[in-house]
Amino acid sequence: MDILAEVKALAVEYHELTGKPLGATGEIGEFEAAEKMGLTLEGARSVGYDATRREGPYRKIQIKSRWKRGGRKWGRVSKIDISKEFDSVMLVLMRGDYEVHEIWEAERHAVVDRLKEPGSKSRNERGQMGVSQFKSIAQKVWPTN
């Protein structure tokens, strides 16, 4: 899609000029996940999930995205609200020019269990975890090699 390529180029240029992200990472990640994983994106006001999978068992999927450049670390996955309805969480990892590096998917029960583990304020109160923690409870679903 031409507009997505333009948004990616603008996001990279904006970061180069300001040192800050443009704020389009989530939208880019959602679109890329839908395209690569055969998902249907839901409307902007869908509570708790961003997309559905209709092939195979119907599933409500929350999509999270992270972007990094150079040798930086992936950081943390943004807030996962476990009070909302969803079946799984997909994490889209993008590099450099916002090209997808990997997509990981974790089942709801694994996400809830990890976020409720004692010992971390960011996990317990903010619903966040590091990318490496997310990967430890998830399966890589793209690329499939």
Say if residues 14 and 28 touch (Cβ distance below 8 Å): no
pLDDT tens for the chain, 145 residues: list them. 689 889 999 999 999 999 988 899 999 999 999 999 999 999 877 778 999 998 888 999 999 999 998 888 999 999 999 999 999 999 999 998 999 999 999 999 999 999 988 877 656 778 899 999 999 999 999 997 7
- And the tokens for 9? 């180029």
Domain boundaries, the chain: 27-142
95 burial type by CB count under 10 A (0-12 exposed, 13-18 middle, 19+ buried): middle
